[in-house]
């Protein structure tokens, strides 16, 4: 699906508390391909456990729709400085 002229956003929450708004990067707009990311600095502060996330799309006619909410499991980093 062509996602040219769409906006995409995603948030990770623990219960109702915002943990992060992820960076969205469209890598192939005509093919509908995008990626979600966060910096190491940002993820260093995320608490271990299960968090909720969804992806919200606003198309070129300003219709808004979201994915189902899914779980992102953050695990404790054992090997670190």
Which of 56, 24, 50 is closest to 37 using CA atoms?
Answer: 24
Confirm whether 16 is domain-assigned.
yes
What's the sign of the alpha-carbon dihedral 41, 75, 8, 3? positive
pLDDT tens for 5-41 read 999 999 999 999 999 999 999 999 999 999 999 998 9
Which of 40, 42, 12, 8 is closest to 25 using CA atoms?
Answer: 8
Domain count, the chain: 1
Which of 8, 15, 22 is closest to 52 using CA atoms?
Answer: 15
Give the residue numbers spanning the domain of 44: 7-74
Strand-pairing partners, residue 57, are 8, 65
Confirm whether 57 is domain-assigned.
yes
CATH number at residue 38: 2.60.40
Confirm whether 59 is domain-assigned.
yes
Beta-carbon contacts of residue 16 (< 8 Å; ≥ 6 apart): none
pLDDT tens for 46-66 read 999 999 999 999 999 999 999
Confirm whether 79 is domain-assigned.
no
Confirm whether 23 is domain-assigned.
yes
């Amino acid at each position: 699906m062509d996602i040219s002229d769409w906006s995409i956003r995603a948030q990770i929450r623990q219960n109702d508390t915002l943990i992060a708004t992820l960076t969205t990067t469209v890598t192939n707009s005509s093919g509908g391909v995008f990626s979600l990311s966060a910096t190491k600095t940002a993820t260093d502060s995320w608490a271990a456990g299960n968090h909720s996330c969804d992806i919200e799309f606003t198309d070129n006619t300003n219709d808004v729709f979201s994915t189902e909410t899914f779980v992102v499991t953050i695990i404790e980093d054992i090997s670190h400085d």
